[in-house]
Amino acid sequence: MIDLKQARILVTRPAHQAENLCALIHAHNGIPIRLPTLEIIPIILSEAEIEQRLTSAIFVIFTSTNAVRCYCSQLDDAKMRDLKTKSCLAIGQATAQALKTVGLNVDLMPQHGYNSEALLDLSELQHVSQKNIVIIRGENGREMLAETLKNRGANVYYENVYRREIPQIDCREVSQLITEKRLDLMTITSGEAIQNLVQMLPKSQHDLLKKIPLIVVSERIRTIAKNLGFETIALAQTPSDDAILNTITTIINGEESG
């Protein structure tokens, strides 16, 4: 039986995505502390833009669960039927599950790794010359996926369906826990989230903040955390809540992290 020993664990997922991880922590005798460091703001597309991109697409790549939610919520029944005729790609398991939830088949996803690099390794994306590919993503996302596909000869189009903002919320509870050294562990699931966390808290607390053990979900985020000065960083095996919980358990029980 997992026992998190009443450890206080910061959960920084956006508010609408935090519930499952918080419930897991609570169910295993931990204390989840909610501080969303990202707010997801949908971007409304014109019907003409959606139709133009969708009609010509061969592959439609979804880069996150938020991409699925913010895009598919804008599609009427006819456009959803059209989307079902395309090859839908998911960047990882959570995104694949989000697609299934809205009734879409997942034609391709990486079996190992949950990022653009893993997606680009798929054999089906090696020879894409003259194929139209639509990437459904958040505004100002990584450019590597599109650039690589363009270099392989594809015609690549973006649908930016949400933007990320720093939430306007009260951070005093977390600030007090940091000052009193009663925050045991933090979880971070994106590079922007950790940058926002630092920005949201007073500079006078940054030294204490960076001494708190941190769990991240990719090597890229670990590099960002190291560059920001965080001292103890553990890498979860996947971005899933279960994998994050396993890493939390490892740290709480005193095993060393990388």
Closest CA to 135 of 180, 101, 176, 90: 90
CATH number at residue 223: 3.40.50.10090
Tell me: pLDDT of 255 over 90.
no
One domain for residues 188 and 156? no
One domain for residues 116 and 146? yes
pLDDT tens sequence across 51-91:
999 999 999 999 999 999 999 999 999 999 999 999 999 99
249 neighbors 185 (Cβ within 8 angstroms): no
One domain for residues 65 and 137? yes
One domain for residues 51 and 138? yes
What's the confidence (pLDDT) of residue 132?
A: 97
| Amino acid (one-letter) located at 194 | I
pLDDT tens sequence across 12-51:
999 999 999 999 999 999 999 999 999 999 999 999 999 9
Distance CA 258, CA 233 (A): 6
**Between 140 and 213, whose confidence is greater?**
213
pTM of the entire predicted model: 0.87
22 neighbors 32 (Cβ within 8 angstroms): yes
Closest CA to 145 of 136, 123, 225: 136
Query: Has residue 1 been placed in a domain?
Result: no
67 neighbors 89 (Cβ within 8 angstroms): no
pLDDT tens sequence across 158-173:
999 999 999 999 999 9
One domain for residues 146 and 247? no
Distance CA 219, CA 239 (A): 11
Query: Has residue 196 been placed in a domain?
Result: yes
Q: Spell out the residues 6+ positions from residue 33 whose beta carbon is closer than 8 angstroms to its own.
A: 8, 9, 10, 11, 173, 174, 177, 183
Q: 């391709």: which residue's tokens? A: 108
Query: Has residue 100 been placed in a domain?
Result: yes
CA 52, distance to chain mean position in Å, is: 28
What's the confidence (pLDDT) of residue 115?
A: 86
Query: Has residue 2 been placed in a domain?
Result: no
One domain for residues 77 and 135? yes
Query: Has residue 3 been placed in a domain?
Result: no
**Final residue of a structural domain among 143, 164, 185:** 164
Q: How many domains does the chain have?
A: 2
pLDDT tens sequence across 195-240:
999 999 999 999 999 999 999 999 999 999 999 999 999 999 988 9
One domain for residues 49 and 154? yes
**Final residue of a structural domain among 148, 164, 180:** 164
- Domain extent, residue 150, equals 41-164
pLDDT tens sequence across 236-249:
998 899 999 999 99
One domain for residues 55 and 158? yes
- Give the pair of three-digit tokens for residue 46: 């014109």
One domain for residues 113 and 214? no
Tell me: pLDDT of 256 over 60.
no
Distance CA 59, CA 87 (A): 5
One domain for residues 64 and 140? yes
